[in-house]
Amino acid sequence: MIWEVSLGAFLLVTVALGGGAAWLAGRALALKWRPYWYAVGYMLLFAGAVRFFHYALFGGTLVSLHYYAVDAAVLVLSASLGFRIMRARQMTSQYRWLYERQGPFFWRRRAPESQTSER
């Protein structure tokens, strides 16, 4: 089971509050041009805080490797999505002569424009 107290507590604390904060943290790290591994490291630390909220608010276990791993996975996923969407937006807006958007998460190098001479 991925939640320990109730599904509502898991959705509120881990997914909504923790995931929302992780999304914003991932975006902020991308905006500052930090490498991706910063987001993973910060979310592993933040998962401990989310575990504390489960413990303090809903009487869950504070030290549980299983629930910590579930919380960390949700937070890393959310931060990764925020990071990647913002990085794709940055690359295509700040370097628009080099890159073009290829979906919400990716960018690609622009094809060289055809060199047609007008005579």
pLDDT at residue 2, as a whole number: 65
Domain extents for the chain? Answer: 7-94
Determine the Cα–Cα distance for residues 82 and 105; give it in Å rounded to an integer.
9
Average pLDDT, the chain: 88
Residue 82 has pLDDT above 90, yes or no: yes
Residue 31 has pLDDT above 90, yes or no: yes
Determine the Cα–Cα distance for residues 108 and 110; give it in Å rounded to an integer.
6
pLDDT at residue 115, as a whole number: 45
Query: Residue 111 — pLDDT band, cuts 50, 70, 90?
Result: confident
Question: What one-character DSSP code corresponds to residue 96?
Answer: T
DSSP 13-63: IIIIIIHHHHHHHHHHHHHTT--HHHHHHHHHHHHHHHHHHHHHHH---SS
Is residue 50 a contact partner of residue 14, using CB atoms and an 8 Å limit? yes
**Does 2 or 47 have the greater pLDDT score?**
47
Q: What is the mean pLDDT of residues 70-77?
A: 96
Spatial neighbors of 80 by CB under 8 A, at least 6 apart, are 26, 36, 39, 40
CA 110 centroid distance within chain:
26
**Does 111 or 38 have the greater pLDDT score?**
38
- CA distance readout (Å), 114 to 43, 47, 97, 102, 109: 45, 51, 14, 20, 15
Lowest mean pLDDT among 2-6, 41-45, 105-109, 114-118: 114-118
Q: What is the mean pLDDT of residues 75-102?
A: 89
pLDDT at residue 1, as a whole number: 66
